[in-house]
Amino acid sequence: MTSRYSLSAVSFAAIVACNAHGATGNLVVFDDADQNSFDHNAALCTTGGDFFGETTVVHSGTAAVAVSTQNDNNGGGWAATVSYSATSDYDAVTLWVNAGNNSRAHTSPAIFDMSGNPHFMHLEDMYGGPLPAATWIQFVVPFGSDLFQQALSTPPDTVQSICVITHSATGSFTDFFYLDDVSLRGADIFKSAFEN
């Protein structure tokens, strides 16, 4: 009788193990400072209108990133020292965004692949309208999202740099949007085709 129960326990453990989702762990990009060899100075989108170490408007911790909206295509971002697969290593970027004092109508994450090609989508499409002023919003941007095609771009196959760019210039150097708590989400390597 004991062997039957032992066999049942082993069978149950095997079934649970087969249904468990294995994933690459999340990789922190920015949390109060650049993390895990990501470098904001090497990103393809930093324009001099970004301030790493903003301490007034912060989602969590002690520092965030402030990006000036004075000019179109101002952005803040990070470059990795290696390239990651957008399917088997990390399948999304998670980040917190605050539109600052003014609502934002055109804010774009740009994922640069290992060849330096940008892949764009718009946070407002994901949010369902302009980003509200003075509100922290968490976004999870899947690299396979149809929102890349909606923005007339393509999903990335690899990830080398992560940027967030504004396309709604205000002409004021004192108008900013803010970024905080940025990470790459570990890819679920056991995800079935039905779970895309």
| CATH code, domain with 165 | 2.60.120.260
Across all residues in the chain, what is the average pLDDT?
Answer: 84
In a domain, 43, yes or no: yes
CA dihedral 181, 59, 44, 70 (to 10 degrees): 170
Which structural domain range is residue 61 located in? Answer: 23-189
Confidence of residue 4 (pLDDT cuts 50, 70, 90): low
In a domain, 196, yes or no: no
Please state the domain count of the chain. 1
Task: Dig out the tokens for 50 from the structure.
Answer: 């970004």
In a domain, 11, yes or no: no
Q: Residues 132-137: contacts with CB within 8 Å, 24+ apart? A: 132/99, 132/103, 133/99, 133/100, 133/101, 133/102, 133/103, 134/98, 134/99, 134/100, 134/101, 135/98, 135/99, 136/59, 136/96, 136/97, 136/98, 136/180, 137/96, 137/97, 137/98
In a domain, 106, yes or no: yes
In a domain, 132, yes or no: yes
Residues with Cβ < 8 Å from 85, sequence gap 6 or more?
157, 158, 159, 187
Confidence of residue 191 (pLDDT cuts 50, 70, 90): low
Q: What is the pTM of this model?
A: 0.82
pLDDT score recorded for residue 19: 37
pLDDT score recorded for residue 16: 38
Highest average pLDDT, of 18-22, 29-33, 41-45, 52-56, comes from: 29-33
In a domain, 17, yes or no: no
* Beta partners for residue 84, in sequence order: 159
Provide the 3-class DSSP secondary structure of residue 86. Answer: coil
Task: Kindly tell me if the per-residue pLDDT of 78 is higher than 90.
Answer: yes
Task: Kindly tell me if the per-residue pLDDT of 160 is higher than 70.
Answer: yes
Provide the 3-class DSSP secondary structure of residue 80. Answer: strand
The pLDDT tens digits for 38-67 are 999 898 776 666 788 899 999 999 999 998
